Amino acid sequence: MTELTTEQLACNFETMRHIEKVRNYLNAVVVNLMDRAEKHDQSKLQSPEVEVFTVYTPKLKSLKFSSPEYDECKRQMAEALTHHYARNRHHPEHHKNGVDDMTLLDLIEMLVDWTSIVTGK
């Protein structure tokens, strides 16, 4: 193998610093996503949400999304939903400007949340 020049060694050093920075940022994203996974929707397990979600989740599952009946159920859930959205930033309703104020990690959690609902898994 050919010995590297001084310039190549310097370039490799800079490349290695870049790789390390990217690795550190990606690890921070992984830690953040793992934290979100642990805390996702925990507010549903306590009052005032648990009482409302216990009654309305089965009803919502049987209704067509955005139908008048679905929208009426959500209207009746307003207090619990307001509480839920205030504590869970993966919902656009959490943010003043909706999706426009969400971070990439908020959006990832939201999409994973929706996927679990749509697929039932």
Chain-wide mean pLDDT for the chain?
Answer: 96
- CB under 8 Å to 53, separation ≥6 — which residues? 44, 77, 80
For 52-71, what is each residue's pLDDT tens digit? 999 999 999 999 999 999 99
Q: Where are the alpha helices (DSSP H) in the chain?
A: 6-39, 49-61, 68-76, 78-87, 104-119
- pTM here is 0.85
For 17-26, what is each residue's pLDDT tens digit? 999 999 999 9
What is the C-alpha separation between 75 and 10, in angstroms, rounded?
63
Cα–Cα distances (Å) from 117 to 29, 56, 65, in that order, read 24, 15, 12
For 27-41, what is each residue's pLDDT tens digit? 999 999 999 999 999
Instruction: Identify which of 28, 61, 39 has the alpha carbon closest to the alpha carbon of residue 109.
Output: 39
